[in-house]
Amino acid sequence: MLQLQSAFGVVALLAIAWAFSEKRRAVSIRQAVVGLIVTLVTALVLIKVPLVASAFGA
């Protein structure tokens, strides 16, 4: 359930940013997807790689 809440939060932030943007048609779906992928990879590295997780926790 926590993962679903986190995913909803990311989608909600993207939706809010899109809603308040001045040029909605200028938003590139490809760039948004790449940004989400980078976010997910960063989160996985911070959580799953023990050396990085302990350094980040310190």
Q: At what angle do helices 29-48 and 50-57 cross, to 10 degrees?
A: 90
> What is the tally of structural domains in the chain?
1
pTM for the whole structure? 0.63
In degrees and rounded to multiples of 5, residue 21 shows phi and psi of: -75, 150
pLDDT one-digit tens code per residue, 1-58: 777 888 889 889 988 988 898 888 887 889 888 988 998 899 888 888 888 888 877 7
Reported as a single tens digit per residue, the pLDDT across 42-56 is 988 888 888 888 887
Q: Which domain holds residue 35?
A: 2-57
